[in-house]
């Protein structure tokens, strides 16, 4: 049986994928790494951009996503956020 990932876990997976690639990732790689459908990934990526967790850059004429300082802070605080969410049943 598969367990549905919570929103904070999906965000973590996306940001972790970007960080693991040295802070910058191509959309196709992110789609593969995040384990989401294209539609869902677009929704999440747009949400993360609007919240300042990732940003779009152009490298050699192709679009890439880069993790921001706020995004790095999210990754650093993720364990605490997860523990808080789980213990308070949120």
Partner 1 sequence: MVQFLVGPEWFYGVDTIFEVFSIIVCFLIAIFAYKTYNLTNQRKYFYFMLSFLLIAASLTFKIIANFVVFYKTVEKSFYGLFIVTYTHSFDFINTVALFLFRFLFLIAFIIILANILNIKDKKIISLLLFFSFLAVIFSTFAYFEFHLTLALIVGFISHYYFKNYSIKKRKSAFLVMMSFMAIFLSQIMFILFILDKGFYALAETLQLIGFLFLLLAYLVILKK
Which positions touch partner 1 (CB under 8 A)? 7-8, 11, 47, 51, 53, 70, 73-74, 77, 79-90
Measured from the CB atom, is 63 or 73 closer to partner 1?
Answer: 73
| SS3 readout for the chain | CCCCCCHHHHHHHHHHHHHHCCCEECHHHHHHHHCCCHHHHHHHHHHHHHCCCEEEEEECCEEEEEECHHHHHHHHHHHHHHHHHHHCCC
Measured from the CB atom, is 60 or 90 closer to partner 1?
Answer: 90
* Minimum distance, C-beta of residue 5 to partner 1, in the bound complex (Å): 14
């Amino acid at each position: 049986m598969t367990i549905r990932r919570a929103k904070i876990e999906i965000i973590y997976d996306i940001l972790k994928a970007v960080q693991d690639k040295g802070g910058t990732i191509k959309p196709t790689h992110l789609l593969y790494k995040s384990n989401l459908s294209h539609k869902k990934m677009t929704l999440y990526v747009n949400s993360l951009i609007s919240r300042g967790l990732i940003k779009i850059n152009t490298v050699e004429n192709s679009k890439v996503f880069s993790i921001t300082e706020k995004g790095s802070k999210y990754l650093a605080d993720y364990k605490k956020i997860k523990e808080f969410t789980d213990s308070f049943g949120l």
